Every structure is written in structure tokens, then in C-alpha cells.
Amino acid sequence: MMKNNNNNKNSQMAPVSVGEVIKAKVLSVGEKGDGIVRTKGFVIFVPNVRAGDFIKLKITKVSSKVGFGEMIEKVEPFEVPKRKLPTPEELRERVQKPKEDVSHLLTTDGDSEEF
């Protein structure tokens, strides 16, 4: 969701908006003691949490480069789904698949001469 809650053109790039509730894992703690969470590559600072905590948080402020949130509650650990990347064999099959023969479409036989 890309919303502009601060009437600031730069905040349109943020993947979160004020009031949004998300679940996240606290990756680390910053210099000032706030937990650091990332969502879609966007950094969100959350006070009163520890690195490794799984939390539900509410976004309280969004700037052009970072967001701020408050913890609603700790939640059970969750797994982030991983994208299945194709194997080298699957990629080769995609490239080597025979194409449908469309040469019959390239002939002018039967076309009208009246243009």
C-alpha cells in the first residue's frame, strides 16, 4: 500500500502507511535502543523491543526513508515464505522447449490480391 499520509511527495515511496498494523521480526537494535524492523526493504524503528522478538506493530509515523511504530503485542514466531527458484535443469527446459510450428501462417497462399 503506497499512501501519502503526510502530504509529502517523498512519503509516497513508503510501502506502509500510518495506522497500518503489520507483523514483523525485530532484526536488531539501533544506537538509540529502538528495535529495527524491515518490511519490503523499508526500515521501521520500534521502541521497547529486543532483537529476535516477533511482534505485531502499528505504524505511527512515516517519512521518506524510514517509519516508526509501536508494539501492540508479541506474537508467535512465523516463517517468511520463500520463493521457489527454478533449478538449472528447469531453466534449460524452458529454453529448449520446441516452439509451436507457425510457418503455415507466414505464407501468402490464399490471400486476396484486392487491397
Q: What is the pLDDT of residues 1-49, one digit of tens each?
A: 444 444 444 445 789 999 999 999 999 999 999 999 999 889 999 999 9
Pick one of 2.40.50.140, 3.40.50.1220, 3.30.530.20, 3.30.70.20 as the CATH number of 9-74.
2.40.50.140
How far is the C-alpha of 113 from the C-alpha of 115, rounded, in Å? 6
Domain limits of the chain? Answer: 9-74
- How many angstroms separate the Cα of 11 from the Cα of each of 62, 63, 65, 68, 106? 7, 6, 8, 13, 52
Amino acid 7: pLDDT: 45
For 31-67, give one letter per residue: b (16+ CB within 10 A) or e: eeebbbbebeeeebbbeebeeebebebebeebeeeeb
Amino acid 3: pLDDT: 45
Phi first, then psi, for residue 83 (nearest 5°) are -75, 135
Contacts of 83 (CB under 8 A, 6+ apart): none
Q: What is the pLDDT of residues 42-92, one digit of tens each?
A: 999 999 999 999 999 999 999 989 999 999 999 988 776 777 888 888 888
Which residue is associated with the grid cell 506474537? 75
How far is the C-alpha of 24 from the C-alpha of 38, rounded, in Å? 8
Q: What is the pLDDT of residues 93-108, one digit of tens each?
A: 777 666 677 776 776 6
